[in-house]
Amino acid sequence: MNLSESQIRSAYAQAKERYASLGVDTDTILQQMEKVAISLHCWQGDDVSGFENPGGELTGGIAATGNYPGKARNADELRRDLDVVYSLLPGAHRLNLHAIYLEAGKKVERNAIEPQHFAAWVDWAKTKGHGLDFNPTCFSHPLAADGFTLSHPDSAIRQYWVEHCIASRRIGEYFGRELGSKAVTNIWIPDGYKDTPADRSAPRRRLLDSLDRVLAEKLPHNLDAVEPKLFGIGSESYVTGSMEFYTAYAVSRKILLTLDSGHFHPTETIADKISALLVFLDELLLHVSRGVRWDSDHVVTFNDDLQAIAQEIVRAGALNRVHIGLDYFDASINRLAAWTVGARNTLRAMLNALLEPQALLIKYEAEGDFSSRLALQEELKAMPAAAVWDYHCLVKGAPVGMAYVDTIKAYEQNVLAQRAGR
């Protein structure tokens, strides 16, 4: 079922002509794809376990379900798995690390983590040409067990998490400086109530104060982001860090806002938020994910939501202002497949968006010719974008079509199956 190289090239030549007839030069578009870097989320590789505390439980209103064999048990295994995934993606991409993925050789309190605990990640990233991003881990910890961290009523507990976030920003700064590419350090906290609170204001005032203390230090190689959420498991009625809270915060502090596609009402999409927020914010971070019912973290599929997100980044001319990260954790299928499917879909959606004849659509719109705008939008859905994607994979040395599944299956047999425990 795999296509031959000449089939891929001839399908591309035909597609190139089709797009040229709409004023789109596919070769130029493929050059633009060079600028699209996806930040892969390290936590898909081990169900958000990390290496701080073997056997530690995932808490904070998020959950990975499934027990597919072969999860990475240490950083070397995780890097090895990631190397395979990157080899299946066209282009050069980043890695998004969480604080619990440190390599300290001993237990280190989260408020005492240091750049040296991530030195092996930096060495690896330098060798492989990856940028790195970072996240404080404000969950899966005894001091997060009350469901509150940066907005906790106890000032000593708040202080602990403030210190953890300060330490995390310094690690982001270290990544940015060492790798010559700014790191985004994204703060997400699980804080919230299962049932209707008596006081919605006080936690938000405490969060404001904590965040201001976290962000006090100027760090030129680090970009700060805050990630809102509507609800989590156990925080159904109230989340301190809501969309309105963090939007206002990000605008007033001139930092990034993170939009996670699984963090809104089930019918609410983040696509339309991008152009609105970019009027006020310099940059955004996306956590591309897929919400299903009450779970915000399913593998990204090539659905309308994903395509709309990609279109809005491109239409806003914001390729260099929107950082694209993935965020989901599926333990019920091969974890490398989960990463690869979501990442390839996201890249493919970006390519499709870039292939839009934007000038022509804008012309119809400016002329008030909404009939032609609609007709063209619909025609575009059946244009041969897949032939351009296949060719892109071919020239970038990434597998075409289902060939990547063969690589994953062979790796599963040769490497993952040898890992004891689940």
62's contact among Zn ion, ligand RNT, none, with CB below 5 to 8 A by partner kind, is ligand RNT
191's contact among ligand RNT, Zn ion, none, with CB below 5 to 8 A by partner kind, is none
Strand 94-98 to 38-41 pairing: parallel
3-state secondary structure 142-170: HHHCCCCCCCCCCHHHHHHHHHHHHHHHH
Residue 228, C-beta contacts closer than 8 angstroms, at least 6 positions apart: 239, 241, 242, 243, 245, 246, 247, 257, 258, 260, 263
> What residue type is 223 in one-letter code?
L
By CB under 5 A, residue 297 contacts Zn ion: no
Mark 217-246 with x for binding to ligand RNT (rule: CB under 6 A) and - for no binding: ----------x-x-----------------
Kindly state the tokens that stand for 116. 């040296």
Task: Please report how close the Cβ of residue 159 comes to ligand RNT at its closest, in angstroms.
Answer: 22
183's contact among ligand RNT, Zn ion, none, with CB below 5 to 8 A by partner kind, is none
3-state secondary structure 109-120: CHHHCCHHHHHH
User: HSE (CB half, 13 Å, CA atoms) of 287?
Assistant: 35
User: Which residues, 311 to 350, sit near Zn ion by CB under 5 A?
Assistant: 327
Separate counts of helices (H) and strands (E) for the chain: 14, 12
The answer to whether residues 396 and 54 touch, using CB atoms and an 8 Å cutoff, is no
Kindly state the tokens that stand for 14. 């035909």
48's contact among ligand RNT, Zn ion, none, with CB below 5 to 8 A by partner kind, is ligand RNT
By CB under 6 A, residue 169 contacts ligand RNT: no
Of 38, 62, 162, 215, the one binding ligand RNT by CB under 6 A: 62
Exactly one of 46, 178, 224, 297 is catalytic; name it: 297
By CB under 6 A, residue 204 contacts ligand RNT: no
Sequence-ordered alpha helix ranges (H) in 44-193:
75-87, 119-128, 155-179
163's contact among Zn ion, ligand RNT, none, with CB below 5 to 8 A by partner kind, is none
Exactly one of 141, 229, 323, 392 is catalytic; name it: 229
Judge whether 25 counts as a catalytic residue. Answer: no
Kindly state the tokens that stand for 313. 């980044």
User: HSE (CB half, 13 Å, CA atoms) of 234?
Assistant: 13
Mark 265-284 with x for binding to Zn ion (rule: CB under 5 A) and - for no binding: --------------------
Task: Please report how close the Cβ of residue 93 comes to ligand RNT at its closest, in angstroms.
Answer: 18
By CB under 6 A, residue 287 contacts ligand RNT: yes
Question: Could you give the CA distance from residue 367 to residue 118 in angstroms, rounded to a whole number?
Answer: 55
Judge whether 265 counts as a catalytic residue. Answer: no
Judge whether 130 counts as a catalytic residue. Answer: no
User: Which residues, 247 to 286, sit near ligand RNT by CB under 6 A?
Assistant: 260
By CB under 6 A, residue 188 contacts ligand RNT: yes
Which spans of this chain sit near ligand RNT (rule: CB under 6 A)? Answer: 43, 48, 62, 135, 188, 227, 229, 260, 287, 296, 327
Residues annotated as catalytic (active site), given as ranges: 188, 227, 229, 260, 263, 287, 295, 297, 327
